[in-house]
Structure 1
Amino acid sequence: MFNEVKRLNARLAVRLAIAAGIAVGLVVVTLFVTVTRPKTTPFCAKCHGAIIFNNACKKPSNDIACIECHTHNNRGVAQMAVEIQDEHCTAESCHPLNKLTAQAAQYKKCISFQHKTHVVKLSNNLRLKCTSCHANINGEKHFETDARTCDTCHFINTTKPLYTQNKKPISDCTLCHGHIEKTKDIYGKIFQHETYEKNEKISCSGCHFNTIQGDGRVDKRSCYQCHAEITDYSERVPDMHTIHIEKHKVACTSCHDSLAHGWIKSANSVSGGDHPLQSVATGHKVQELIMMGMGGVGIKGEPDPMCLATLNCSACHQDKQRFAHIEHTVCNDCHGKGFDRILTEQMRFVTSQMRLLRRLLSQAKRRNNADTGQVIHEAEVNYNLVREDGSSGAHN
């Protein structure tokens, strides 16, 4: 009987050993699949099927596994991660840093973009990561250039702006915009953009205004998107940049208010739809009408040449708060030496004609009759329009 029990136990032990071996094998296979399968993109795509992978790397897209970018080392074991480290982007098989910084890249219609000026540590402890500029924006592409980062860094309203090695503010237009070949016929005279590009006395904002919308400041309430409690951060800007940008993948727009850069176009038929007049924002409606050759009655008006050239009010009016004061010598910057005297003579002539018209209107009203009533009314409307404009003909 003892031998029989011994034989049964032996058979049971063999069965248990076989079952244990099978179980261990299944565990090993499962672990192997779990570790190795994420190295293939189809494995991730089972859950993340909405991602459209656009291959911006040098490798064929079918050779790039998700884990090649989305990974970090945890005690020597590679694990999947949402954040992408710069080391993966600048690997020798992808985008080596020495090659990126050796030559310029073309971005849209701007002049060549230099990576070497963007991979260094900037003021306020700001160091951009690859994913600061190259990110997933709206899901149409897996990653693309996020121009919002460019706008935030270059045009943020701050008391400590960044400067280039040539001591230019990074908001300087010529850093991105090179020579522009644009001509325009204005009353038979050809306007050439190139002429004014070379004139150092003329700034781009003399014609191109309202190209920046927003200030890019940090609203403290945006911190609550991630943090339940926050402390005063105003004196810790360098620390904020290190924690959120250098150590983690936080987009600039997550903290900074919306800021956009571009030339707003309108359906303004007078200026050819290039952009709206600045008086829309400053409240100078009459001045806008005069420059556009509109607002009068009984006469066909024509827009002023400066209106057709899309001139900015502040190009002539240096006091940008009220747009009232103007130095006549500013005219010479665009029109050449001596033009300020020509303008002064024109304004004196218009002023004398306005005095004459006022006397004639006063006399005509005393002799008013049915035949001249409409003419007197139109003349008075036009007189009041020019008087309210206050430029004595300078605006048109």
Structure 2
Amino acid sequence: MSKKILMICLVSVGVVLGAYIYTKEMMFRNPENCKVCHFMTPFYKKWEASTHNRVDCLKCHVYTPLNAASGQLRLLVGGSYNSRPRTIVSDKNCLQSGCHDRRLIESKAISTKRGIEFNHMPHFTEIKRGIKLHCRSCHSDIVQGEHMKVSMNVCFLCHFKGVSPDQSATGCPSCHIAPKQPIVVKGKTFSHDEAMKAGYKCNQCHTEVTRGDGIAPKEKCYFCHVEKTEMYEDVRSMHLNHVTKNQLDCLWCHPRIEHGKIRIFEKSQ
């Protein structure tokens, strides 16, 4: 090999390596540059207004210059471009030091703004209804105007799908604690505490706490797949591929289930 060819090869390698390092360390580190290639302005604005706005995109998202190059190649060769952005956020990125690393170590129940008792540990480490959950299974980007916000609709889907409208798959006390103080209902005082001690069940009064069945229609498959519904009935495989492996948001496929005081038993006069 002549010195000239060797020099050209070395220079080429240097240029490619330099471009790779510049892209990875300079271009990819600036979140605003993501909008140059990706249709993600709405997501960027939500990130900008969120509590994560001081965290670089690649601190959470798995994306490399190789991913970028392969995406551009697909666009160039096949003309294919997915206008519906989908990303993977590894659990280890959420739990890395300095971020949310205390969530599982502390493993304590917290009371949310809605008064719901919640513990991260069982949701993260246990199989729930046959599904291995990720951080993003609950902390998703489906809440309008929010970035990585918990959608209560995802909670309702897991807790109420497949059970009667007056029940929860995990039981009401798994989330709610009965009010300690008496309440006034239509001018009459009612004590949950006394009712529970007397042996009454929640659904004897709360006869309907949900509306909707949350069943994913087969037609939803065609939003992403062409004539590929043979796995529709295999619920375990569907969730393994879509939720556990690819972190798809539940509400991409499932309709919402409404939860609240939809119907309460009233004793006839």
CA RMSD of aligned residues (A): 3.6
- 1:312 Cα deviation after fit: 4.4
- 1:248 Cα deviation after fit: 0.3
**Larger RCO, structures 1/2 (Cα 8 Å, 6+ apart):** 2
Question: Aligned pairs, how many?
Answer: 237
Aligned to 1:228: 226
Q: Which AA in structure 1 matches 2:183?
A: T
Aligned to 1:52: 46
* Counterpart Cα distance in 2 of 1:256 and 1:136: 15
* Contact 1:206/1:312 (8 A) holds in 2: no
Aligned to 2:202: 204
TM-score, normalising length: structure 1: 0.51
TM-score, normalising length: structure 2: 0.72
Aligned to 1:33: 22
| Residues 100 and 44 of structure 1, relative CA distance in 2, 3 Å threshold | farther
* Contact 2:143/2:149 (8 A) holds in 1: no
* Contact 2:117/2:176 (8 A) holds in 1: no
1:113 to 2:67 alignment: no
Alignment of 1:132-147 (within 5 A): 132-147=137-152
The secondary structure found in structure 2 opposite 1:71 is coil
* Counterpart Cα distance in 2 of 1:105 and 1:95: 15
Larger Rg: 1
- Could you report, residue by residue, the CA deviation over 1:211-244 in whole angstroms, capped at 9, with x for unpaired residues? 2011112321111111102243355221111100
Structure 2 unaligned regions, length at least 5: 72-85
Alignment of 1:7-86 (within 5 A): 30-36=19-25, 37-44=27-34, 48-50=40-42, 51-53=45-47, 54-56=49-51, 61-62=53-54, 64-72=55-63, 82-86=87-91
* Counterpart Cα distance in 2 of 1:169 and 1:210: 11
* Counterpart Cα distance in 1 of 2:203 and 2:59: 46
- Could you report, residue by residue, the CA deviation over 1:190-213 in whole angstroms, capped at 9, with x for unpaired residues? 33333223332x222222233201
* Counterpart Cα distance in 1 of 2:260 and 2:186: 25
* Counterpart Cα distance in 1 of 2:24 and 2:185: 68
* Counterpart Cα distance in 2 of 1:242 and 1:184: 46
Alignment of 1:1-396 (within 5 A): 30-36=19-25, 37-44=27-34, 48-50=40-42, 51-53=45-47, 54-56=49-51, 61-62=53-54, 64-72=55-63, 82-96=87-101, 99=104, 102-122=107-127, 125-157=130-162, 170-180=169-179, 181-184=181-184, 190-200=189-199, 202-233=200-231, 235-264=233-262, 311-312=265-266, 395-396=268-269
Q: Which AA in structure 1 matches 2:60?
A: C
* Counterpart Cα distance in 1 of 2:168 and 2:218: 27
* Contact 2:109/2:119 (8 A) holds in 1: yes
Aligned to 2:82: none
* Contact 1:83/1:248 (8 A) holds in 2: yes
* Counterpart Cα distance in 2 of 1:91 and 1:71: 14
* Contact 1:124/1:241 (8 A) holds in 2: no
* Counterpart Cα distance in 2 of 1:132 and 1:110: 21
* Contact 1:105/1:112 (8 A) holds in 2: yes
Q: Which AA in structure 2 matches 1:82?
A: T
* Contact 2:109/2:117 (8 A) holds in 1: yes
* Counterpart Cα distance in 2 of 1:262 and 1:119: 26
| Residues 203 and 142 of structure 1, relative CA distance in 2, 3 Å threshold | same
